[in-house]
Amino acid sequence: MARNKFDVDEELQTLFNGQHLKRLMGYIRPHRKALTITVMLMIISSIALLLGPYLVREAIDHKIPDKDVDGLIMISIGLALAMLTSSVCLKFRIRLMSSVAQKIIYTLREDIFLHLQKLPFSYFDNRPHGKIIIRVVNYVNALNDLLQNGIINVITDMFSLIFIVIFMFAIDVRLTLISMVGLPVLIVVTFLLKRAQRIRWQRVSSKQSNLNAYVHESICGIKVTQSFAREEENKNIFNTCNSAYKKSWMSAVRLVHLMWPISENISTLSISLLFYMGTSWLAYGEYIITVGTLVAFVSYIGRFWGPIMNLSNFYNQIIMAMAYLERIFETLDEEIVVKDQKDAYPIPTIAGSVTFSNVGFAYEENNPILKGINFHVEAGERIALVGSTGSGKTTIINLISRFYDIQEGDIFVDGHDIQKVTLASLRQQMGIMMQDTFIFSGTIMDNIRYGKRDATEEEIIQAAKEVKAHDFIMKMQDGYQTEVNERGSRLSVGQRQLISFARALLAKPAILILDEATSSIDTKTEMALQEGLERLLEGRTSFVVAHRLATIKNADRIFYIRDGRIIEAGTHEELIDLGGAYYKLFMTQYEILNNDIAL
């Protein structure tokens, strides 16, 4: 699969359907008690507000003509209590729904993050990380208004609408029917705009994702940017992404804002028609309508169109949320390719033997990386993997850790098929130092402890000493408590690798995997490290991917990989005597090393 880039719009694999809203309701359902309380509060608030026009009608038609002062005082008190009740209910509704919305967002974001932890390396290899981050943060946050206000508002507005219609029909059926004459027009317009709105919000999410991807890429590569004075060119690229996002946003918003004036105009025309008919009936007296009835009805018609317009706004929220829900659920539906089988069992404590039986593997279909790999490694044996870049060395060690699943053959650890054991039990008994070392934000001690969370301070210091990291750590301002930034920007490349090496070794794994572990350490440091490596590798099965002779020579066996096959295997001396590919590699590096020493 070709890697998606910041300037390539993401294509949805699954389009929106009713199941997405059903799944969203699954996150809402655990909070139904709070939602029920909120709905009850809003119903009470709606009823309290709807009593207002009715009380006004009573005052105009009866209390004022009868000069009933006590009655007017009671109506005034009733109006005040109604307003107070509505305000109190609204206050508690806001607090309750804010809490519920954030809990739902918390759970949704947690599910996405946990799912991402289980996805295979290929998922992250095929898309910019900025496009992944935006789904966890921005897209989930975009649902806040829908969850906090939209859903509860649509429920309460539906109840309000029912009560309003009941009150209106109770006062005058004919005026009620006149008030509703514009409703079919609004419904038709809403559905006509539906498809265009959804397409435009999909475009917004794509452009926003592209912008986020480029910002993330630019920040990660800021040192390279400044080194090559690319600031101006990068600014132009950023402006292109930013402009595309702005254009798509404005296009979507223009369509959204079209709903409000349409609703407002239909509402105004309906109210105007009501005024015309009502005043006509009053003037001619053909129908008996009191002034109080007309005043009350005007108040109710305003309240009638309020929920209607709120419902149209909720429809807009749903359309906008669709674009984000599609991306969120697309991520959650991403298949976890490397996972425990249903009958997977925890692998017992291992000695460390490893067997590859006719293993074939490809990252992409019809482009095999490994072809018929066969070997058996005894527990405690040290294996060096050598060969040109892209030959398949790193792929072999990735398969031992089961970061990818093989397409052909079998891999056994202590006789256990690694496809049939649980991932956690397998990886917990391995120490892995990948070629791309990663240092997390926090202290140096926390970074070394990352692979063994219960390690004592003494164990951490001992591991650092054995890999020759202790001296440079103690020279830092706060020693092991020195705070390092994300990706270890305060450390040199060699220092980061040594810390990563200590982290891998602290776990005391049965199988130790080192992928170019000394690639960024200078020759002098590497020579000092060899003594510690010899002690640490003793008694452990180890697979070492390296180019430097010092790391390779002491291996029990060396596998020379070319084009996905092991073309030579043996000890250093055996391969030198063979005079093949390994011999040529050795002689080339030997000459380079001699020249370095001479200098």
Confidence at residue 18, expressed as pLDDT on a 0 to 100 scale: 67
- When pLDDT is cut at 50, 70 and 90, the band that residue 283 belongs to is low
Confidence at residue 413, expressed as pLDDT on a 0 to 100 scale: 95
CA angle 168, 173, 179 (to 5 degrees): 65
Q: Report the distance separating Cα 576 and Cα 584, nearest Å.
A: 9
Two structure tokens written together for 142: 């975009």
Using one digit for the tens of pLDDT, what is the confidence trace for 84-106? 888 888 888 778 888 888 888 89
Backbone angles phi, psi at 317, to 5 degrees: -65, -40
Per-residue pLDDT for 172 more than 70? yes
> CB neighbours (10 Å) of residue 258?
15
Report the share of the chain in percent with pLDDT over 70: 87
The residue type found at 441 is S
Q: Report the distance separating Cα 351 and Cα 452, nearest Å.
A: 19
- When pLDDT is cut at 50, 70 and 90, the band that residue 10 belongs to is low
- When pLDDT is cut at 50, 70 and 90, the band that residue 416 belongs to is very high
- Report the pLDDT averaged over residues 583-592: 75
Of 90, 107, 108, 98, the closest CA to residue 34 belongs to 98
Write down the residue that tokens 């947690």 correspond to. 110
| Rounded alpha-carbon distances, angstroms, from residue 29 to 100, 144, 496, 547 | 11, 16, 47, 57
In three-state secondary structure terms, 367 is: strand
Rg of the chain, C-alpha, whole Å: 35
- When pLDDT is cut at 50, 70 and 90, the band that residue 376 belongs to is very high
Q: Report the distance separating Cα 50 and Cα 45, nearest Å.
A: 9
Query: 5-19, 82-96, 395-409: which has the minimum mean pLDDT?
Result: 5-19
Per-residue pLDDT for 418 more than 90? yes
| Rounded alpha-carbon distances, angstroms, from residue 547 to 97, 379, 439, 520, 574 | 60, 24, 23, 11, 18
- When pLDDT is cut at 50, 70 and 90, the band that residue 1 belongs to is very low
Confidence at residue 517, expressed as pLDDT on a 0 to 100 scale: 63
Backbone angles phi, psi at 241, to 5 degrees: -65, -45
| Superfamily of the domain at 18-332 | ABC transporter type 1, transmembrane domain (1.20.1560.10)
Task: Read off the pTM.
Answer: 0.70
Spell out the residues 6+ positions from residue 241 whose beta carbon is closer than 8 angstroms to its own. 6, 7, 207, 210, 211, 214
Q: Report the distance separating Cα 300 and Cα 291, nearest Å.
A: 14
| Rounded alpha-carbon distances, angstroms, from residue 63 to 57, 68, 80, 289 | 9, 5, 17, 17
Confidence at residue 239, expressed as pLDDT on a 0 to 100 scale: 92
Of 280, 333, 273, the closest CA to residue 118 belongs to 333
Confidence at residue 377, expressed as pLDDT on a 0 to 100 scale: 94
- When pLDDT is cut at 50, 70 and 90, the band that residue 175 belongs to is confident
Per-residue pLDDT for 243 more than 80? yes
| Rounded alpha-carbon distances, angstroms, from residue 1 to 4, 210, 224, 314 | 9, 18, 27, 38
Confidence at residue 411, expressed as pLDDT on a 0 to 100 scale: 95
Q: Contact 231/225 with Cβ under 8 angstroms? A: yes
- When pLDDT is cut at 50, 70 and 90, the band that residue 599 belongs to is very low
- Considering 124-128, 280-284, 580-584, the range whose residues carry the highest mean pLDDT is 580-584
Two structure tokens written together for 583: 């011999």
Report the share of the chain in percent with pLDDT over 90: 15
Category of 539 on φ-ψ map: left (φ > 0), alpha (ψ -120 to 50) or beta: left
- Report the pLDDT averaged over residues 357-380: 90
| Rounded alpha-carbon distances, angstroms, from residue 335 to 81, 121, 338, 408, 525 | 57, 12, 9, 20, 43
Mean pLDDT of the chain: 81
Using one digit for the tens of pLDDT, what is the confidence trace for 426-462? 988 888 877 667 788 888 898 888 878 888 999 999 8
- Report the pLDDT averaged over residues 142-159: 73
Cα-Cα-Cα-Cα dihedral sign, residues 162, 167, 173, 178 = negative
**483-484 and 511-515 as β-strands: parallel, antiparallel, unpaired?**
unpaired
- When pLDDT is cut at 50, 70 and 90, the band that residue 595 belongs to is low
Q: Report the distance separating Cα 58 and Cα 72, nearest Å.
A: 9
Q: Contact 360/369 with Cβ under 8 angstroms? A: no
Got the DSSP string for 458-511?
HHHHHHHHHTT-HHHHHTSTTGGG-EE-GGGTTS-HHHHHHHHHHHHHHT--SE
Regarding predicted confidence, which is higher, 227 or 107?
Answer: 107
Instruction: Report the residue count for the chain.
Output: 599
Two structure tokens written together for 342: 């249903």
Q: Report the distance separating Cα 132 and Cα 473, nearest Å.
A: 34
Got the DSSP string for 405-460?
--SEEEEEETTEETTSB-HHHHHTTEEEE-SS----SEEHHHHHHTT-TT--HHHH
Two structure tokens written together for 99: 């809490």
- When pLDDT is cut at 50, 70 and 90, the band that residue 543 belongs to is very high
The DSSP 8-state label assigned to residue 514 in this structure reads E
Per-residue pLDDT for 355 more than 90? yes
- Considering 31-45, 258-272, 290-304, 556-570, the range whose residues carry the highest mean pLDDT is 556-570
**367-377 and 354-364 as β-strands: parallel, antiparallel, unpaired?**
antiparallel
Q: Give CA torsion, residues 129, 133, 134, 135, to 10 deg.
A: 110
Cα 82 off chain centre by: 45
Cα 274 off chain centre by: 51
Of 334, 317, 332, the closest CA to residue 142 belongs to 317
Query: 263-267, 279-283, 442-446: which has the minimum mean pLDDT?
Result: 279-283
Q: Report the distance separating Cα 168 and Cα 270, nearest Å.
A: 15
Q: Report the distance separating Cα 363 and Cα 373, nearest Å.
A: 16
Side-chain-side CA neighbours of 572 within 13 Å: the count stands at: 13
Confidence at residue 286, expressed as pLDDT on a 0 to 100 scale: 47
Per-residue pLDDT for 347 more than 90? yes
Spell out the residues 6+ positions from residue 392 whose beta carbon is closer than 8 angstroms to its own. 369, 370, 373, 561, 563, 564, 565
